[in-house]
Amino acid sequence: MRVFLFGVDGLTYRVLHPMMERGLLPNFQRLRDEGVEGILKSTTPPVTPPAWTSIATGLSPSKHGIYDFWEYEQSENGPIPHVMTHRKGGKAIWNVLSDWGKRVVIANVPMTYPPEPVNGIMLSGLMAPEMQANVTYPTALKEELLAEVPKYHIDINPAVSCGQRGDVFVDVLEMTRHRNAMLRLLLKKPWDFFFFVYTGADRIQHLRWDEIMAFHPMAVEYYQMVDEGLGMVLDELGPEDMLMVVSDHGFQGASRKFYLQEYLYRNGWLQMQGSNRTRAQLFGMVRAIARSLNIQKPARQIYRRLRHKQIEALANENHPAILPKIDWAKSRAWVQSTSGELAGYADIFFHDSVTEEEIEELTKALKDLRDPLNDQPLVIEAHREDAFGNGPFAPAQRHLVILSGENTSIYTQLGRISLWETRGNGHDVSTGIHHPDGIVYLYGAGVKKGTTIAPTHIYQVVPTILTAMGVPLPEDLDGKPMEEPFEKQLTAGAGTGGSELVKQKLKKLAARSS
Ligand SMILES: [Zn+2]
C-alpha cells in the first residue's frame, strides 16, 4: 500500500464545514462522503514546531526535543534563546520507511532543515531559510525544482505574516499557486509514502479570521486552491492507496485578551528589570490617555515604530525570540515565549526555589480566573511538564502549560492598565489563534466510508500509516494505530507486503555489512 499524508497547517472544521456546505470544496466533500472524518488532538502546547514534529515522528516532545520555535539555554543573565529548525532526536517516519526500502517524497514539512538523506527526496519546510539555502536532498534536486517552479517559496515574508505590511491574502495566494505547481511536479516522482504540507491557512487565519468566516472571496480562493491540490492527489491514487489529511492544530477567533505576565507581576511571581517597569507602564498610560482623549493615532504610531524594529529583526534573522524584560534572579514564575499569544496557551516556567505547593496554588488561582465580561473561565486545560512525555529531551525545569478558553488569547506584555482587554484597540493585528482540535480525514484502501470517528491524537498518525503499510512499529512510539477508521483491523507486517518487506530489509542489511 502507498500512503499520501496531506498536511494543512492550522486547518479547522470551523472553516471547512461552512465552505463544504456551500459546495465550495468538492474534494474535501468527497473525503467526508467516501472516507472518515474526525478531530486530531494537537500536542501540548498546540503550536506548529512540536505538533508537526510529533506528526512526523509519532513521538512526544521529550523524545524529539521540539517544544517551541526556540529552545532556551539557561545562564546567569537569564535564558538565551536558540531558534530551532530540526528535531533533536528520534526517527521520523521517512527514516523508518527509508530503512525498509520504501521510496519517500517529503516536501515542505516544518522543522526539516537541514534536509535529511532519505530513500527518495526531501524539500525542507517552515523554519528553513528561503530557497537560496541548501534546502533539498539530494542537493542537486533544488536546481531541477527551481527550473520548473522558479517562484516557489517556503513561506511568505515575515513582515506580511505579522500584519505589518502588504496583504496576507495576496502573498498566501501567490505562494500557494506555486506550491500547487510544486506538488504537480513532485507527483511525477516515484513514491510509496508522500508527505506534503500547506502553510497558508495558518497565515491568513491569524490575521483575517473574521473575513474568512464571512467568506471573503480571496479566502474562498485560498481554500479552493488547497482543495485543488487535494484533487491532484486523489487523481493519483490507485485502489491500493490510502490518503490521510491532517492539521497540526485547529483555529478559533479571539477577541478577548488576558495579560498573564502582568498578572504574575501583580501577584509577586516576577520582578521587572530596573527601569523597564516604568517604561512599560508609561506605554500603558499613553494608550489609556490616548483612548480617553480619543486620539489613538499618535499612540498607534509609537507602537508601529516599536513593532517596525521587531520586523527588522525578523528580516535579519527570520525568527528572533523576544524575551520579557524581567529580573531573572528575582523572578519565580514567568512566561518566556510569545508563541502562546497566537497559539492559545501560555507555558509558565518556574524558578527552582518555587515549591510544588506554590505551583498548585498558582494553578488553582489561574483556574479560578473568569473573564469579567462573560464569566467564562480563562483556563480550559492545565498541564504540568509530564504532558511533554518521557524521553531524553524532557525539560529540566518545571512547567505549567495552560490552554485558554474559547475566544481568548493570553498575552505576555507587561505594564497593562487592565488585565482583560477586548481586541480592536490600536495596534492589534491578530484576530485568530490556535485551538487544540485539528482535523483528520482518512480515505482509500481499507477505510470506512462516510463515517465520523472519535477524536484521535497526533501521536497516532505515524503508527497508523506504518501499520497500514505493513511496516513493524518502532518500540518508542507514543501512540497506537487508529482502529476505528478501518473496515478490518490492521495487522503490522502481515499479508503479502510483509514477507516482501522482510526480504527487502534483509537485503539492505546484507548490502550494508558486505
Ligand atoms: Zn499559527
Q: List per-residue pLDDT tens for the chain, 514 residues long.
A: 999 999 999 999 999 999 999 999 999 999 999 999 999 999 999 999 999 999 999 999 999 999 999 998 888 888 888 889 999 999 999 999 999 999 999 999 999 999 999 999 999 999 998 888 899 999 999 999 999 999 999 999 888 888 888 999 999 999 999 999 999 999 999 999 999 999 999 999 999 999 999 999 999 999 999 999 999 999 999 999 999 999 999 999 999 999 999 999 999 999 998 755 655 555 555 554 444 444 334 444 444 444 444 433 443 456 678 888 899 989 999 999 999 999 999 999 999 999 999 999 999 999 999 999 999 999 999 999 999 999 999 998 999 999 999 999 999 999 889 999 998 765 567 789 999 999 999 999 999 999 999 999 999 999 999 999 999 999 999 999 999 999 998 876 543 344 555 556 555 655 654 4
Q: How far is the centre of ligand 1, averaged over its atoms, from the C-alpha of 433 (Å)?
A: 7
Q: How far is the centre of ligand 1, averaged over its atoms, from the C-alpha of 344 (Å)?
A: 10
Q: How far is the centre of ligand 1, averaged over its atoms, from the C-alpha of 350 (Å)?
A: 25
Q: How far is the centre of ligand 1, averaged over its atoms, from the C-alpha of 9 (Å)?
A: 8
* Helix H or strand E encompassing 99: helix 93-99
Q: How far is the centre of ligand 1, averaged over its atoms, from the C-alpha of 120 (Å)?
A: 29
CA of 339: how far to CAs of 17, 343, 409, 423, in Å? 27, 6, 11, 18
CA of 147: how far to CAs of 129, 141, 142, 185, 195, in Å? 19, 10, 8, 11, 22
Give the chain's length.
Answer: 514
pTM summary value: 0.88
Protein residues near ligand 1, an ion, with CB under 5 A = 202
- Residue 433's nearest CA partner among 3, 12, 4, 5 is 12
Q: How far is the centre of ligand 1, averaged over its atoms, from the C-alpha of 39 (Å)?
A: 18
Q: How far is the centre of ligand 1, averaged over its atoms, from the C-alpha of 214 (Å)?
A: 20
Place of cell 494608550: 287
- Residue 218's nearest CA partner among 166, 272, 288, 170 is 170
Structural domain boundaries of the chain? 3-249+436-503, 254-428
For residues 455 and 248, what is the distance between their CA atoms, to the nearest angstrom? 14
Contact 207, 429 (CB under 8 A): yes
Q: How far is the centre of ligand 1, averaged over its atoms, from the C-alpha of 98 (Å)?
A: 30
Phi/psi of residue 503, nearest 5 degrees: -60, -45
Q: How far is the centre of ligand 1, averaged over its atoms, from the C-alpha of 53 (Å)?
A: 15
CATH of domain 3-249+436-503: 3.40.720.10
Q: How far is the centre of ligand 1, averaged over its atoms, from the C-alpha of 45 (Å)?
A: 12
Pairing of strands 104-109, 120-124: parallel
Q: How far is the centre of ligand 1, averaged over its atoms, from the C-alpha of 110 (Å)?
A: 12
Residues 6+ apart with CB under 8 A from 513: none
